[in-house]
Copies of this chain bind each other. A is one copy, B any other.
Amino acid sequence: MSYQLAADMLERRGVTLASIAEIVYILQSAYYSDLTHEECLASVKAVLGKREVQYTLMTGVALDELAEQGVLPQPLQAVMEADESLYGADETLALGITGVYGMIGLTGFGYLDKIKLGIIGKLNDQEGRIHVFLDDLVAGIAAAASARIAHRHEGARVYPHHTGTE
């Protein structure tokens, strides 16, 4: 599927693909010295081209937008306005994005969700805006794009094949 639908949703919420690619670059350039911003952007687009990512993203963004409009049923509306720290549906939903290139993405996700790097941190500072889901979803997208880069750069290593019957 085209990544454009997801890109439009993100842009509507103030997140450019370049700002996610920048996070990926910061995370991964420490490991791969020849990594380019173009490759990071391409990796973000590849993640956003996956249907399950798009469905997850549209679900979280809808919840953020409806909370901003104040139309969610109570007590969910109040929980989201308070950005309640014990609310875990955002982490749960982001899990559906984080893992699309394997569970190695979990580490990057948690790290980004904690330190709020780049655009993820900016989302948390916007007054009047509710980004309960979006910051986790962006962290998940960046983590998945990072995992994809790791898979591609490490791709050549070969381990001894099992031949015996031990």
Contacts and interface: CB of A to CB of B under 8 A. Distances in A.
Interface of A: 1, 5, 8-9, 12, 50-52, 55-56, 58-59, 61-63, 65-66, 69, 71-76, 78-79, 82, 84-89, 91-93, 95-96, 99-104, 106-115, 143, 150-151, 154-155, 157, 159-166
Contact of A65 (B73, B91, B104, B108): B73
Given A52-B103, A71-B71, A107-B113, A89 B59 contact: yes
A100 B76 CA distance: 21
Contact of A58 (B8, B76, B143): B76
Nearest to A158: B75
Contacts of A150: 85-86
A103 B100 CA distance: 9
A69 B166 CA distance: 9
Nearest to A166: B73
B69 A162 contact: no
A108 B115 CA distance: 10
Contacts of A159: 74-75, 78-79, 82, 84
B95 A92 contact: yes
Contact of A85 (B65, B104, B166): B104
21 contacts: A8-B161, A9-B162, A12-B162, A55-B87, A56-B88, A56-B92, A62-B63, A69-B166, A73-B166, A75-B161, A85-B104, A85-B150, A86-B151, A89-B96, A92-B95, A95-B106, A100-B100, A100-B102, A106-B110, A111-B114, A111-B115
